[in-house]
């Protein structure tokens, strides 16, 4: 399928004092061609969980459906929300069991549970590593440069949103496979919130981006 060949991405996940921030840009590419300008790369898994995707769109969509279904089953069976680390491990196991036909993806699983905010980076082989921030995709090197210079432990969610927007904007300026706008999601103990395009654009202007 054509959609399975679309790739080229920048995503980011950041741990903040009150929650997590996840962001991604909109562009999907096929080689040097911009195949899609409104690609979805942030997937709501539950009220306390988000997954970002980089890599083949077809693989990413299937994995998002798998994880959402498994998280819902966990909640029904145990009558409680799955911990963020549990969701990351579950996805890592799905990825690891398909070594002979791997999913060509890089994922971030982020969210808030009883122990606080968490961000996990997952590779195509099923490796899962927790960190205070991470980035995936073709523009991640530019994101890491911004994060290394500007991230502060214990920063507020509001500061984290601005940092995520600044980081993704830096990638869009230098990575040809990233662009066409930004999506941002915030998760706190109050739940899941996706920022409007108007709020994101207003923040970009205030930041001088």
Active-site residue numbers? 9
- C-alpha distances (whole Å) from 144 to each of 114, 120, 177, 178 are 28, 15, 17, 15
Q: At what angle do helices 57-78 and 84-96 cross, to 10 degrees?
A: 130
55 in Cβ contact with 124 (< 8 Å): yes
**Cβ contacts of 181 within 8 Å, gap of 6 or more:** 25, 26, 37, 38, 197, 200
Q: Which long-range contacts (C-beta less than 8 Å, at least 24 apart) are formed by 166-169?
A: 166/207, 166/209, 167/12, 167/23, 167/135, 167/142, 167/143, 168/10, 168/12, 168/23, 168/24, 168/25, 168/139, 168/143, 169/204, 169/207, 169/209
158 in Cβ contact with 171 (< 8 Å): no
Among 124, 200, 193, 123, which residue's Cα sits nearest to residue 169? 200
């Amino acid at each position: 399928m054509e959609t399975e060949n679309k790739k080229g991405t920048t995503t980011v996940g950041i741990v903040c004092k009150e929650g997590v921030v996840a962001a991604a840009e909109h562009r999907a590419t096929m080689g040097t061609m911009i195949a899609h300008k409104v690609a979805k790369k942030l997937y709501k898994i539950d009220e306390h969980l988000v997954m970002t995707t980089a890599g083949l769109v077809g693989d990413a969509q299937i994995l998002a459906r798998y994880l959402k279904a498994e998280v819902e089953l966990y909640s029904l069976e145990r009558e409680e929300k799955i911990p963020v680390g549990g969701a990351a491990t579950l996805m890592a196991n799905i990825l690891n069991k398909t070594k002979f036909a791997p999913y060509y993806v890089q994922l971030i699983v982020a969210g808030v549970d009883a122990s606080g905010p968490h961000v996990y980076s997952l590779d195509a082989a099923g490796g899962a590593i927790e960190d205070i921030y991470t980035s995936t995709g073709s523009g991640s090197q530019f994101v890491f440069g911004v994060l290394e210079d500007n991230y502060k432990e214990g920063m507020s969610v509001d500061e984290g949103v601005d940092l995520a927007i600044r980081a993704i904007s830096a990638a869009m300026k230098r990575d040809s496979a990233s662009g066409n706008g930004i999506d941002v999601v915030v998760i706190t103990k109050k739940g899941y919130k996706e920022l409007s395009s108007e709020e994101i654009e207003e923040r970009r202007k205030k930041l001088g981006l």
